[in-house]
Amino acid sequence: MEIENKNRDQNYSWLDRDIKRFKEVGFIIPKIQLDLYKSISEYWVSGKTVIDIGCSIGVGANILSHRARHVWGVDLNAEAINFANQVFSRPNLSFEQLDIENPPTRPISTFEVVVMSEVLEHLNNPEAGLEFCKRFFSDKLDTVGFITAPNPNHPIVSETDANNELHLHHWTPGEFYALLIKHFRSVTLFDNEKIDLWLQEETTDGNCTSPLVVAKVEGII
């Protein structure tokens, strides 16, 4: 419990920094994640309904909304959601506070595309986070999901993660695949840092060399 409270307090301090940075330069997410959202937007969301789980202040969700029919961004942090609602005003974009680890029991909508980028490593219970994520999948809609996590095999990630108390879990690409295949019938890992090749070059052996492990998942178990 002390770890959970500590991390939630740190999330708010990081949020203050991120909002300040967004106001100064217009974005706050690393280039590799920014490229990922742009690539997902270009290849996968045109005319579709999308949910961005763990959307923070909404930068990625806003990128997706330029091509998607509708994007719903959810995050635990109420201040982040309030900021997103103030800054990103588009008729096909909405934000809501939602606790992934203590989700509502009410029925929730399903989507054609589910994005959960760099979220699982922050959760006390990643399995519960994946169960929550699966509630948005629909076989009828042929939902496709994109779930990512930092790659500890990458030298930059291994160095920065050593002092990152917000990252409670670390998975090698092979371990990340093993985690996801328990929840989805199809899991494909992708490995490339170039935006024009994102989500096109798959790695079949889990030997991902980029800082971000990207998994395309389909069909819930």
Supply the CATH number for residue 140's domain: 3.40.50.150
For residue 217, count CB atoms less than 10 angstroms from its CB and return exposed for 0-12, middle for 13-18, buried for 19 or more.
buried
Q: How many domains does the chain have?
A: 1
Residue with tokens 């971000």: 212
* Pairwise pLDDT comparison (100 vs 204), residue with the higher score: 100
* Nearest one of 72, 70, 64, 69 to 38, comparing CA atoms: 64
pLDDT higher than threshold 50 for residue 5: no
pLDDT (tens digit per residue) in 47-76: 999 999 999 889 999 999 999 999 999 998
Q: Is 215 helix (H, G, I), strand (E, B) or coil?
A: strand
93-97 and 144-150 as β-strands: parallel, antiparallel, unpaired? unpaired
pLDDT (tens digit per residue) in 123-162: 999 999 999 999 999 999 999 999 999 988 877 766 666 5
Total Cβ atoms within 10 A of residue 83: 20
In a domain, 124, yes or no: yes
In a domain, 138, yes or no: yes
pLDDT at 130: 96
The range of the structural domain enclosing residue 55 comes to 29-220
